Amino acid sequence: MSDPSVAAAGAALTAGAADQVTAAEHAGPSGGGAGQPDKPRGLFSDAWVELRHRPLFWISALVILLVVVMAAFPQLFTSADPTFGDLSRSRQGPSAQAWFGYDNQGYDIYARVIYGARASIVVGVLATVGAVLLGSTFGILAGYFGGWLDAILSRGADVFAGLPFVLGSIVILTTLNAEGGAGPVRIVAQVVLSIMALSWPVSMRIMRSAAITAKQQDYVKAARGLGASPRRIILRHLLPNCLAPVLVYSTIALGAFIGLEATLSYLGVGLRQPVVSWGVMINAAKDYIRVAPHALLFPAGFLTVTVLAFVMLGDAVREALDPKLR
């Protein structure tokens, strides 16, 4: 089960998913001659025009871009080896040689913060993509077909949504980690699968609600009356008009999943050595925070700013996509 605040943020847009104004209502100047008709704008075009004038959007986007560049090209920010430890420099504070100081094992904290962005971002992105794809597929099928299929998928989502996230993750990861000796890829995959398994019901409910509303619209009834197949109706008519609330949820959920990865790593059941992540660093620094607080403050600060940036971006996108909030 995902964070209730994340679910609420995504569900807030569901009611307006089918109320998208028509292209004619959003027609704007085309820049052509006087005799040319106005060029219509869609929902996402209007949202982009709205987003361009929001400082909150640009601030959060720049922070996220910086974190993504750090994750993709850490060599641009540091030449130090994040896995090299020297006990002779254990717990040394920030200096010109190590901007963030050293941790208990003598690792360069700055280098590990830079390289740790990769694992945190990878877990967040993969978990978000997996949970949204799985939940949206179930949701749009349940919303369109209804009946017994809707009942089965909805009750299955209720079962997973009723599981406490932390407890469920501990059970799943403890079971998967029973063998031990896992490599970095398997460690990351296990955390991603645990987050996906407990988070997909939120996107399923959002997509189901949007699909139920959208299938009552005239364009869907007209397509059905003209003999369009269910597959064509879902892909060409329902899906484009149900994406807005799921897109908002995905943006906020990505930040939330990065925080969830850090939570699981702090509890000792998520990512672990040899993987370098912000959660692993926080877990390693918790035992000596009084003598070396810098070992915890720097990775925790980067984690907080990153999660906040995704939440701010999600709020900006939600307000831009929902005409009622403009």
Domain membership flag for residue 35: no
- What average pLDDT does the segment 192-210 reach? 92
Domain membership flag for residue 283: yes
Domain membership flag for residue 119: yes
> Helix-strand-coil percent breakdown of the chain, rounded to 5?
70, 0, 30
Tokens linked to 219:
């364009």
Say whether pLDDT at 16 is over 50. no
- What average pLDDT does the segment 169-180 reach? 79
pTM metric for this prediction? 0.80
CA distance 206 to 51: 23
- How many Cα atoms are found within 13 Å in the side-chain-facing hemisphere of 263? 17
Q: How far does the chain reach from its first CA to its final CA, in angstroms? A: 31
Q: Residue ranges of the alpha helices (H) in 52-108? A: 55-72
Domain membership flag for residue 270: yes
Q: Is 102 exposed, middle or buried (0-12, 13-18, 19+ CB in 10 A)?
A: buried
DSSP state, residue 217: S
- What average pLDDT does the segment 231-246 reach? 87
Phi, psi of 113 (to 5 degrees): -65, -45
Indicate which CATH number applies to the domain containing 270.
1.10.3720.10
Domain membership flag for residue 25: no
Q: How confident is the model at residue 135 (pLDDT cuts 50, 70, 90)?
A: very high
- What average pLDDT does the segment 233-238 reach? 87
Tokens linked to 144:
């369109």
- The boundaries of the domain holding residue 203 are 4-15+41-325
Count up the domains in the chain and report the number.
Answer: 1
Q: Which residues contact 139 (CB under 8 A, 6 or more apart)?
A: 153, 203, 204, 205, 206, 207, 208, 209, 210, 211
